[in-house]
Amino acid sequence: MGTLSGRTAVVTGSTSGIGLGIARALARAGADVLLNGFGEAPLVARLRDQLASEYGVKVVYDGADMARPEQIASMIEHATAEFGKIDILVNNAGIQYVAPIHEFPVERWDAIIAVNLSAAFHTIRLVLPQMLARNWGRIVNIASAHGLVASVNKAAYVAAKHGLVGLTKVVALETARTNVTCNAICPGWVLTPLVHKQIEDRASREGVALEEAKRALLAEKQPSLEFVTPEQIAALVLFLCSDEAAQIRGAALSVDGGWTAQ
Ligand code: NAD
């Protein structure tokens, strides 16, 4: 029996990167999991079947677009109908776009705020009533080092992630006298498709090889000079789901190789 057997989880943006690492760890710990995110249907189906058979848990998929409140609502209904309840909510779906603010496309701003911030408002407002009714729940918001400090050319991302840290604190206060907790995790660089795109852009902009661009990216921000791994983020999510973490509330927990210690 895993430590989370009998629990059920929704992880947004879990077809790739950090979200997939979190979904895998939750399934390994015995939780039934709803996967969400984009991806080709056969690949997503294979992923779903693989997790279910490897860990002996129920795994379902919902392709809801986190920029669309009505699709978010139907995903929450879907998970509740499949599992009977939602115990754990991980708001992880996120997108990035990099440009100076005076050149920042308005539609990119709107999309980043919708997916990286407003989606968490919607999932939380829709899931919280049932968590409070059962008096147990764990909400984990995947923010970023950029939820605590800024960088140039990331106006929408930094604003959304700071907003997500603020939202986390409010939810933690509103649930403080219950067995529902809400916290944020603030990763530094994790080598996922989202960051790979930034490495490729940097390599072509500076005319250097990918490995060189990777080193430069780390050297600029992350004192450890090592990437954080999805497994390291997932391990913290599992701890936040444990009874031992019951009094961690409204925290923004850095896993960033020293980025925000500077
Ligand atoms: P990724 O691109 O590998 O994965 C993002 C996931 O979100 C994918 O499953 C994608 O399909 C999904 N997604 C994107 N738009 C969506 C939408 N509109 N609706 C539903 N799903 C959508 O990225 P990642 O690096 O694993 O990022 C995961 C989270 O971690 C993001 O919130 C990101 O901001 C955050 N983060 C990443 C890093 C990093 O270095 N990679 C650092 C700090 C924070």
Write the pLDDT tens digit of every residue in 10-38.
Answer: 999 999 999 999 999 999 999 999 999 99
Select 8-188+228-254's CATH number: 3.40.50.620, 3.40.50.300, 3.40.50.720, 2.60.40.1120.
Answer: 3.40.50.720
CA of 133 to the centre of ligand 1 (A): 30
69 lines ligand 1 (CB under 6 A): no
Assess whether 157 carries a catalytic annotation.
Answer: yes
Distances in whole angstroms, Cα of residue 140 to Cα of each of 59, 189, 196, 245: 19, 19, 24, 12
pTM greater than 0.95 (yes/no): yes
Task: Catalytic residue, from 55, 61, 97, 157: name it.
Answer: 157
The tokens of 177 are what? 């006298």
Closest atom of ligand 1 to CA, residue 14: 9
Q: What are phi and psi of 63, to 5 degrees?
A: -90, 25
17 lines ligand 1 (CB under 6 A): yes
CA distance 251 to 259: 17
194: pLDDT confidence band, cut at 50, 70 and 90? confident
Given the DSSP bridges, would you call strands 32-36 and 8-11 parallel, antiparallel or unpaired?
parallel
Q: What is the mean pLDDT of residues 48-58?
A: 98
The strand order across the sheet containing 180-187 reads 59-62, 32-36, 8-11, 88-91, 137-142, 180-187, 252-255
Domain ranges of the chain: 8-188+228-254, 189-227
| 258 close to 226: Cβ distance less than 8 angstroms | no
